[in-house]
Amino acid sequence: MLVNIVCPKCNTSGGFSITDAYYIGPYKCWKCRAVLKINMDNNRLVSCEAMSDEEAARFEQEQEMKRRSRGGR
Ligand SMILES: [Zn+2]
């Protein structure tokens, strides 16, 4: 489904498509390129906050590690 996300930094709304009803992860604003941490719960946007570059990088690393450990066997 497509979720409408309003960037807290520039107030621009953008569409973000998710495949699961639950999602916690980064979303990049198409306009100001701020990385936001969005929290979707049961297809509803619960929270949306700015994420620092550091935090975003760490998040990606974690996702990568999860992917690797899962695909081991
Ligand atoms: Zn923005």
User: What are the pLDDT digits (tens) for 23-68?
Assistant: 988 899 999 998 999 999 998 899 999 888 898 889 889 989 999 9
> What is the CA(32)–ligand 1 centre distance, in A?
4
Q: Where do the DSSP E strands lie in 8-68?
A: 13-17, 23-28, 35-41, 44-51
61-65 long-range contacts (CB < 8 A, ≥24 apart) are: 63/25
> What is the CA(28)–ligand 1 centre distance, in A?
8
Strand, coil or helix: what is 7?
A: coil
What's the confidence (pLDDT) of residue 12? 96
Cα(34)–Cα(72) distance, rounded to whole angstroms? 33
> What is the CA(14)–ligand 1 centre distance, in A?
9
What's the confidence (pLDDT) of residue 72? 58
What's the confidence (pLDDT) of residue 73? 62
Closest CA to 14 of 1, 5, 2: 5
What's the confidence (pLDDT) of residue 6? 92
